[in-house]
Structure 1
Amino acid sequence: MDDWTPRTRAIVAGRPHGPGEPLNTPIVATSTYEAGGDSVYARSDGTDTWAAFEEVVGSLEGGYATAYGSGVATLSAVLDSLPVGSTVAVPTFSYAVTRGALQHAQQLGRLTVTELEPTDTQAWLGCDADLLWLESPTNPTLDVMEIETIARGTRGRVVVDNTFATPLHQQPLSLGADIVVHSATKLIGGHSDLLLGVAVARDEAAGRDLREARTRLGSTPGALEAWLALRGLRTLPVRLAEQTRTAELLASRLSEHPHITKVRYPGFGMMVAFELPDADAADRVCAAVRLIRPATSLGGVESLIERRAWLPGEDRVPPGLIRFSVGLEDPEDLWQDLLTALG
């Protein structure tokens, strides 16, 4: 399977094999197993549905995957392994919930947190933190971090939030990172209908630690959610390719619009951010769209738009910045919707 492309592996990995086996992994809804077999209890031993989802993600990222009940549960499992007093570095512009969780741990005296500019690679290389939490592209400013340079030039454990890029655009483990995390709620699930997270470790021992953390914290995924995420993952390559084409087109057109002061697009993926002169102008655009939906979250088949600075913890984000999750609608329909709203 390793000689197949990611697009093929997304389709074929994690499927049952053998005469009479179902073509698709079924929803295994059980909490416990009859005594005498390899599995005893789902919280510690998992289910076939979880295992199939983890096999696909692990194949795409090149490591040992563990699924969790949400992206935040994944974050908690990674931080759970840190001894009290550990130091953590995180980008100044990154997912507000990640920074909020770290700040909470610091307030409790568990961790010491340092925030660094995402593109200041020298600051990251000079950082002596026990854990470096990278996010690339960053949320919502879409900065791209030099993952390989940082991962190979620092002593601390490197974790990369790969939610925006997905393993189809970058594989941080191959660049030297120790753990990759995803909010599978987003692009992996792809339909805005589930909550799920996943972490992928580069080595098997770290993978076992992540699985033990799931058991200890009880942050298990639901049977239906894991099955939906697995089904969504099968179509990720074709969804992301189409969304990326549309995002590239719209980013180019938005950059030429006279009302927009700045467009942020990393050159890949389906996330675009653009800025208007102030919060009022951005709010008017978000209220005026008809096809694009004003809502939090991203990565679904539908296009979503949001002025991010209104959220708690996003006070550093430019007040007129709009985060745009590009969906699968016709590009010209999306462009006309934006033109009307901007007008």
Structure 2
Amino acid sequence: MSDDQHPQHAPHGFETLAIHAGQEPDPLTGAVVPPIYQVSTYKQDGVGGLRGGYEYSRSANPTRTALEENLAALEGGRRGLAFASGLAAEDVLLRTLLAPGDHVVIPSDAYGGTFRLFAKVVERWGVTWSVANTSDPAAVRAALTDRTKLIWVETPSNPLLGITDIAALADVARGAGVRLVVDNTFASPYLQQPLALGADVVVHSTTKYMGGHSDVVGGALITADDALGEELAYHQNAMGAIAGPFDSWLTLRGIKTLAVRMDRHSANASRVAELLVSHPKVTHVYYPGLPEHAGHEVAAKQMRAFGGMVSFRVAGGEEAAVAVCDRAELFTLGESLGGVESLIEHPGRMTHASVAGSALEVPADLVRLSVGIEAVDDLLADLSRALG
């Protein structure tokens, strides 16, 4: 029996989907990697006669289609959409689902860019928001109003690694007739699948673990609701912040190794957290894999492993935390996360400067690590030197 005669079996395991979903060999050449369709427009066979449904690459592009089908498969969704950045994906989602006068509940430790989008952009056209500890379903329920349309969740959160029980908040959302949105960037679909736990929409910055190599910026939305998927796709086209073909190709390339990378990220981060817990100059460690973490039991229930992000507070305050960032060598001082290389940053002055002075302000003595896939003993030695 030839390769193309083998029957297809479903469902496949995650690792198989990561490599094959949306990525059939090219029918013209047999290339096993989807081509980069670096094209803006397509020849039509008569007026309205589209080949494969393609007319203009803002509306659809074969390389982006491959990525979008892959994203949907990995999250167990029905529709995936790829964008130019994670915030572009968030913007399309908010403008699709909200109208002036609507209200959103956001996490008390939301990503600074998400907070800025709500506080400085969306609020200006009449959408209100309030903050709640999403780790506490009762607190979220108390924050709901008769105008609430969305509950927004990050789990694990950025940068304090808070854990939200997705299934519990899905119950809250259903009871109130609102939608639950989960930013799954820190976990990736390999470690956690929010749609299966009751979420309506999953958000990703594909720049991070999905791309995985710090060489591409992108975002994604995935839903299991066909009608909602069509609405989001309409606004994706109407607003135009789409992932380009080369960016889509790079993200697909990264996704192929997502599972093995996340295993290594998680294993390395666990070792790093153990070192930090025992270090005399560290006053607190935020990592859901630690038994003493407030969300450990929930994370163990809804995640395959605990991820590659670790945050910690340093004795001596803000300047001591900045000094640790400056002294690190193998941990590169830089924003972003999720790449194969390890990064270190000071959230208060870098990624979360936008929340300074707000209810979401992060501790000044906080350091955030994106633990890469280098030899873990080298990472431990570098951190030990940086901590002095």
Q: Same fold (TM over 0.5)?
A: yes
Instruction: Please show how residues 259-274 of structure 1 align to structure 2 within 5 Å.
Output: 259-267=281-289, 268-274=306-312
In 2, Cα distance between equivalents of 1:52 and 1:73: 20
Tell me which residue corresponds to 1:304.
343
1:77 to 92, 103, 115: 92
1:254 matches 2:276: yes
- 8 Å Cα contact 1:93/1:118 also seen in 2: no
Q: How many Å apart are 1:280 and its aligned residue? A: 0.7
**Aligned with 1:220 (options 228, 234, 242):** 242
Q: Deviations over 1:258-316 (max 9, x none)?
A: 00000110120000011102111111110101111010000001000001011422432
Cross-structure match for 2:223: 201
Partner of 1:121: 137
SS at match of 2:279: coil
Q: Compared with structure 1, are the counterparts of its residues 122 and 2 closer, same or farther at alpha carbon in structure 2 (3 Å cutoff)? A: farther
Residue 92 (structure 1) shift: 1.5
- Report the Cα distance in structure 2 between the residues aligned to 1:22 and 1:33, rounded to whole angstroms: 21
TM-score normalised by the chain length of structure 2: 0.86
Contact 2:116 2:355 in 1 (8 A): no
- Which residues in structure 2 correspond to 1:91-106 (within 5 Å)? 91-105=107-121
Structure 2 counterparts to residues 326-341 of structure 1, below 5 A: 326-341=371-386
CA distance in 2, matches of 1:318, 1:149: 28
The residue correspondences of 1:33-72 to structure 2 (distance < 5 A) are 33-35=42-44, 36-37=49-50, 38-44=53-59, 46-63=60-77, 64-72=79-87
Q: Give the Cα separation in 1 of the matches to 2:170 and 2:134.
A: 14
1:174 matched to which residue of 2? 196
- Aligned counterpart, 1:275: 313
C-alpha distance 89-302 of structure 1, shift in aligned 2 (>3 A):
same
In 2, the alpha carbon distance for the partners of 1:3 and 1:107 equals 42
Shift of residue 22 of structure 1? 1.3
In 1, the alpha carbon distance for the partners of 2:385 and 2:253 equals 35
- Name the aligned partner's letter for residue 5 of structure 1: G
Using the alignment, how far apart are the partners of 1:222 and 1:62 within structure 2? 24
**Where in structure 1 do 4 or more consecutive aligned residues deviate above 3 Å?**
17-20
What corresponds to 2:19 in structure 1?
11
Q: CA deviation at 1:243?
A: 1.0
Distance 2:208 2:327 in 1: 25
Question: What corresponds to 2:301 in structure 1?
Answer: none
- Matched residue count: 342
Partner of 2:159: 140
Which sits farther off after the overlay, 155-164 or 304-313?
304-313
User: Does 2:369 correspond to 1:324?
Assistant: yes
User: Match of 2:212, as an amino acid?
Assistant: G
Structure 1 residues 68-95: Cα deviation after superposition (integer angstroms, max 9, x where no partner):
1111100100011111111011001011
Q: Is the Cα contact below 8 Å between 1:177 and 1:202 reproduced in 2?
A: no
Query: 1:3: Cα distance to partner?
Result: 2.3
Amino acid at match of 1:34: K
> Bigger CA drift: 191-200 or 151-160?
151-160
Inter-CA distance 211–285: structure 2 relative to 1 (3 Å threshold): same
Instruction: Give the counterpart letter for 1:176 in structure 2.
Output: G
Report the counterpart of residue 332 of structure 2 in structure 1.
293
Secondary structure of 2:354's counterpart equals: coil
**Residue 120 of structure 1, CA deviation:** 2.2
* Offset of residue 67 of structure 1: 0.4
Structure 2: which 5+ residue stretches go unaligned? 1-8, 290-305
The Cα offsets for residues 205-231 of structure 1, whole Å up to 9 and x where unpaired, read as 111111111111111111111100000
Which residue pairs with 2:187 in the alignment? 165
Report the Cα distance in structure 2 between the residues aligned to 1:105 and 1:69, rounded to whole angstroms.
18
Q: Distance in 2 between matches of 1:246 and 1:2?
A: 33
Does the CA contact (< 8 Å) of 1:180 and 1:199 recur in 2? yes
Contact 1:187 1:300 in 2 (8 A): yes
Aligned-partner Cα distance in 2 for 1:152–1:14? 32
Kindly provide the amino acid, as one letter, of the partner of residue 297 in structure 1: S
Query: 1:233 — aligned with what?
Result: 255
Q: Partners in 1 of 2:170 and 2:20 — Cα distance?
A: 31
Q: Say which SS state the counterpart of residue 108 (structure 1) adopts.
A: helix
Letter in 2 for 1:90: I
The separation in 1 between residues aligned to 2:285 and 2:381, in whole angstroms, is 18
1:8-53 per-residue CA deviation (whole Å, 9 max, x = no partner) reads 2111212224584211101011111112223211112x11110111
Residues 133/110 of structure 1: CA separation in 2 closer, same or farther (3 Å cut): same
CA distance in 2, matches of 1:15, 1:109: 40
89 and 32 in structure 1: CA distance in 2 versus 1, 3 angstrom threshold: same
Given the two structures, how large is their TM-score scaled by the length of structure 1? 0.97
Q: Which amino acid aligns with 1:118?
A: T
SS of the aligned residue for 2:151 comes to strand
C-alpha root-mean-square deviation of aligned residues, in Å?
1.3
Distance (Å, rounded) in 2 between the aligned partners of 1:20 and 1:222: 23
